[in-house]
Amino acid sequence: MIDIVNDPLPTDAALSALWLAAWGDAGPASFQPILQRSLAHVGAYDGERLVGFVNVAWDGGIHAFILDTCVDPAYRRQGLATRLVQAATEAARARGAQWLHVDFEPHLTAFYRGCGFAETAAGLIALG
């Protein structure tokens, strides 16, 4: 049984382990500054083990942003990412966001459409 937890405050070690499994690198040196600024974040736990995560950043007003949706590869294709995004959507709504944005690569279009996101035009500048 996988538990979905709002604002779980996972340790840097737990997030780094998930990042390594999901993205192929350990991520930032510390996730704590990111978590402290988030409107919400949602973790998926198999017992004590963090196996999924999504962050909800925000502008301090009515716009929130889904970031870093990830699931450990051993737990994929079970609807876990959908559950995470649904929980993040509910948390953002409950905390006063009126718009929830997400940017994603083309191969994730069906996933995010399935989560209820409508297609929009957007722009992007790579700064790094």
CA angle 67, 40, 4 (to 5 degrees): 90
Single-letter residue type at 47: G
SS3 41: strand
pLDDT, tens only, 68-114: 999 999 999 999 999 999 999 999 999 999 999 999 989 999 999 99
What pTM was computed for the model?
0.93
Q: Could you tell me which residues are beta bridge partners of residue 52?
A: 44, 71
CB neighbours of residue 52 within 10 Å:
24
